[in-house]
Chain A
Amino acid sequence: MNIKVSDFKGISKIKKLFFIATLLFAIPSVVFAEGESGKPFNAGDMILEHVSDAHSWHVAGDVSIPLPIILYSSTHGLDVFSSAKLENGVAYNGYKLNGEHIVAVDASGAINKDETAKIWDLSITKTAASILLSGILLILIMLAVSKGYSKRGTGAPKGIQSFFEPIIVFVRDDLAIPSIGKKKYEKFMPYLLTLFFFILLVNLLGLVPFFPGGANVTGNIAVTTTLALFTFIVMMVNSGKTYWGHTLWMPGVPAWVKISILGPIETLGIILKPFTLLIRIFANMLAGHIVALSFFALIFIFGGLWGHFAGYLTSVFSVAFSAGMLLLDVLVSLIQAYVFTLLSAIYFGMATEEAEHH
């Protein structure tokens, strides 16, 4: 993984300047758009809006892409329509957008709480769209890599294949084999590779400040919950007798200790493992996004306090800090993908461990 970090260090000065200039023009333009809506600038709202999920994908300025809204409720049945129909708080088909929540409304326009509780919101939100996009992108990339292998067989890797091969070998040799062991690691490789590359891709796409990047995917708790659940399910499906024996009935400990202390603790531990997984990546990625956005918020805070000139002056420092944060976030993206995959591998290793004689 060091290769990527040092790659960033190795970028020539011109490229660095270009990189910062891109940030200078790209991110503020997105953020400026927020300030133009007439309301006084509120840093908290702006940041929360950016890291939260939405029913439309804001591109730049006034341009945003409407996304499909898919609703199911036992009384209304299935409803599929574009989010453009709910823009500016207009009610459509008995639904209305309350903030980013879809609520059911009566004919008079008042929110119907009973109906709202029955709604299953399966809309393709900004995050969901970003997930789908990342999924398609990942499939395309990996099929291209795979094609290299089918074309060259056991020959030396080339092009995109040689870029991804060290990462795949890294996942295999430094994550899977040491954690699971040489005998059983192969079974888990497809899952670990998918997990690693999926997290890495959505993390890195999230750092791209303009459309179609910028979505806060791994900083969304629903996404990390799902990933952690997958790891938990794979772990449970593959858990052996030794694992359960050691967790619930630790050998060499008096029976009353097992029942009263160790049993409950270990049971809690089983649930806590995926929970820590989902919280760790969620909090890290969310914090990264919030900190980067906070630096930009400073521009508008100072601009609002002392006029445009102060805003432009601050923007120099803010952009510099944000660029630094972005580079740090690249590192965090890698580390979080690494840690999630590594811990999953370690849990699989624990679950499949075979009896050792004590």
Chain B
Amino acid sequence: MDLIVPSIGLIFWMTITFLVVFFLLKKMAWKPILKSLKDRESSIQNALDSAEKAKQEMAALQASNEAILMEARNERDKLLKEARETKDSIIGEAKAKAQIEADKIMQSTRDAIQGEKVAAMDEIKNQVAKLSIEIAEKIIRTELSSDEKQKALVNTMIDEVNLN
């Protein structure tokens, strides 16, 4: 058989063999193999993607945790501050109230003292007047024991009276 003349018989067998091999392998080998390869590649890709996603979610979670912690800390600070303010204001108010109360008590005490004082003064005045009269009575009684002395007193009195 010649080297460079293609023989019909061989072309015939080659065509048949190649077609049979092609269609059989296409259906039973290449399609399932290529599909498995693709599936595997996509599953690996998915796994990588989800790992990356998990990582990001993790980071996001951490960030949100941080934020929550920060918020809690701020809240606590605010509460403490408010409590302090409330305490201060309560104390202040109480102080003011006590001051007012004290002032009131002082005033009423002062008033009472004043009243007592006036009453005492009146009492003293009355006592003084009574004593004065008694003393004057005693003095007059002694002064007016003689006629001359009576006369002299009348005269002084007349002198003192300005008859104009």
Bound form: Cα–Cα A223–B1 in Å: 14
Bound form: Cα–Cα A149–B37 in Å: 8
Check: B87 CB closer than 8 A to any chain A CB. no
Bound form: Cα–Cα A226–B18 in Å: 9
A193 proximity list for chain B (CB < 8 A): 25, 30
A154 touches B43 (CB 8 A): yes
B9 touches A123 (CB 8 A): yes
The residue in chain B whose Cβ has the minimal distance to the Cβ of A131 is B17
Contact of A194 among B5, B18, B34, B39 (CB under 8 A): B18
B26 touches A194 (CB 8 A): yes
The residue in chain B whose Cβ has the minimal distance to the Cβ of A99 is B1
A122 touches B33 (CB 8 A): no
Classify the interface of chain A: helix, strand, loop or mixed. Answer: helix
| Chain A 214-233: CB-based contact to B (< 8 A → 1; otherwise 0) | 00000011110111001000
B18 touches A221 (CB 8 A): no
Q: How many residues of A contact B (CB 8 A)?
A: 52
A142 proximity list for chain B (CB < 8 A): 25, 28-30, 33
Bound form: Cα–Cα A267–B38 in Å: 39
The residue in chain B whose Cβ has the minimal distance to the Cβ of A279 is B4
| Min CB–CB distance A169 → chain B (angstroms) | 7
Bound form: Cα–Cα A153–B24 in Å: 21
> In residues 1-60 of chain B, which contact A (Cβ within 8 Å)?
1-15, 17-18, 20-22, 24-26, 28-34, 36-37, 39-40, 43
Contact of B29 among A52, A124, A145, A153 (CB under 8 A): A145
A84 proximity list for chain B (CB < 8 A): none
A128 touches B25 (CB 8 A): no
Contact of B37 among A165, A222, A227 (CB under 8 A): A165
A53 touches B10 (CB 8 A): yes
> In residues 273-319 of chain A, which contact B (Cβ within 8 Å)?
286
Bound form: Cα–Cα A165–B33 in Å: 9
A221 touches B4 (CB 8 A): yes
Bound form: Cα–Cα A226–B7 in Å: 11
| Interface core residue of A101, A139, A155 (most chain B CB under 10 Å) | A139
B37 proximity list for chain A (CB < 8 A): 149, 165, 168-169, 172
> In residues 69-90 of chain B, which contact A (Cβ within 8 Å)?
none
| Interface core residue of A123, A150, A222 (most chain B CB under 10 Å) | A222
The residue in chain B whose Cβ has the minimal distance to the Cβ of A154 is B40
Check: A138 CB closer than 8 A to any chain B CB. yes
B30 proximity list for chain A (CB < 8 A): 142, 189-190, 193-194
Check: A48 CB closer than 8 A to any chain B CB. yes
A153 proximity list for chain B (CB < 8 A): 36, 39
| Interface core residue of A128, A186, A189 (most chain B CB under 10 Å) | A128
A150 proximity list for chain B (CB < 8 A): 32, 36
The residue in chain B whose Cβ has the minimal distance to the Cβ of A121 is B9
B34 proximity list for chain A (CB < 8 A): 168, 172, 186, 189
A221 proximity list for chain B (CB < 8 A): 3-6
B43 touches A168 (CB 8 A): no
A286 touches B17 (CB 8 A): no
B1 touches A100 (CB 8 A): yes
The residue in chain B whose Cβ has the minimal distance to the Cβ of A55 is B1
Bound form: Cα–Cα A131–B10 in Å: 9
> In residues 143-164 of chain A, which contact B (Cβ within 8 Å)?
143, 145-146, 149-150, 153-155
Bound form: Cα–Cα A143–B17 in Å: 16
With A52-B1, A142-B29, A189-B34 already in contact, the answer to whether A131 and B22 are too (CB < 8 A) is no
| Min CB–CB distance B127 → chain A (angstroms) | 125
A99 proximity list for chain B (CB < 8 A): 1
Check: A198 CB closer than 8 A to any chain B CB. yes
Check: A237 CB closer than 8 A to any chain B CB. no
| Min CB–CB distance A259 → chain B (angstroms) | 34
Bound form: Cα–Cα A124–B43 in Å: 47
Check: A336 CB closer than 8 A to any chain B CB. no
Bound form: Cα–Cα A110–B9 in Å: 24
B21 proximity list for chain A (CB < 8 A): 135, 138-139, 194, 198
A127 touches B26 (CB 8 A): no
With A121-B8, A135-B20, A221-B3 already in contact, the answer to whether A190 and B14 are too (CB < 8 A) is no
With A124-B13, A125-B10 already in contact, the answer to whether A190 and B31 are too (CB < 8 A) is yes
What are 27 inter-chain pairs, A to B, with CB distance below 8 A?
Answer: A53-B1, A70-B9, A99-B1, A121-B8, A122-B8, A124-B13, A125-B1, A125-B9, A131-B10, A134-B17, A139-B29, A142-B29, A143-B28, A145-B33, A154-B40, A154-B43, A165-B37, A168-B34, A169-B37, A190-B25, A194-B26, A198-B21, A221-B6, A222-B11, A222-B14, A223-B10, A225-B11
**What 7 A-B pairs come out closest when comparing CB atoms?**
A222-B6, A222-B10, A190-B26, A149-B36, A142-B29, A128-B13, A154-B40
